[in-house]
């Protein structure tokens, strides 16, 4: 039973492994023959595999929904930018805001690095942290995200093709 508990512990954490060990100890009191123990272990392993499969399906479904949401947002932007009747402000507002945020972040980085701040240094550093996150998201939006996301997309594509 300790092998199964070890597998579950790696996957779901030590609390889940403790539960499996407890169930195994109770089962050992009522299961006396070696064959019954092996059948019980096989049933437990089958249930663990079923649960892992369900978790994987749920994660894949969630990832698929996130990717659809991102795709619909980008398609909306393409439609606005390519629409003939859309006002100019609708076509340029996102790139202008992105550029402004990046410039503001660099100005604040410069201020922090060369100590050109007053008494509100802590507040500026906090705002700079928020701006850094926004700049990261902006760069990811315009230039794509990390290699890890690309690998996830490839894996999702393989799963969807099955």
48 pLDDT tier (thresholds 50, 70, 90): confident
**Does the structure show a pLDDT above 60 at 14?**
no
Average pLDDT over residues 68-97: 83
Q: Is 31 left (phi over 0), alpha (psi -120 to 50) or beta?
A: beta
Q: What's the DSSP call for residue 117? A: -
41 pLDDT tier (thresholds 50, 70, 90): confident
Rounded Cα–Cα distance for residues 24 and 19 (Å): 8
Average pLDDT over residues 122-127: 80
Rounded Cα–Cα distance for residues 10 and 16 (Å): 9
Which phi and psi (to 5°) does residue 28 adopt? -60, -30
> Quick check: pTM over 0.85?
no
Confirm if 16 and 8 have CB atoms less than 8 A apart. Answer: yes
- Written as six digits, the tokens of 89 are 């402000």
**Does the structure show a pLDDT above 60 at 110?**
yes
């Amino acid at each position: 039973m300790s092998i199964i508990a070890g597998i579950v512990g790696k996957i779901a954490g030590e609390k889940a492994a403790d539960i499996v060990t407890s169930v195994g100890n109770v089962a050992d009191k009522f299961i006396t023959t070696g064959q019954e123990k092996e059948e019980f272990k096989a049933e437990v392993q089958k249930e663990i595999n079923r649960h892992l499969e369900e978790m994987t399906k749920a994660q894949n479904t969630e990832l698929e929904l996130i990717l659809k949401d991102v795709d619909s947002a980008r398609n909306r932007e393409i439609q606005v930018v390519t629409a003939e009747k859309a006002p100019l402000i609708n076509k340029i507002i996102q790139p202008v805001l992105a550029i402004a945020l990046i410039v503001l972040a660099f100005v604040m980085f410069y201020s922090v690095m060369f100590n050109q701040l007053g008494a509100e240094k802590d507040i500026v550093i906090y705002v700079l942290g928020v701006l850094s996150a926004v700049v990261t998201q902006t760069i990811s939006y315009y230039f794509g995200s990390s290699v890890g996301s690309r690998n996830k997309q490839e894996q999702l594509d393989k799963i969807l093709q099955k």
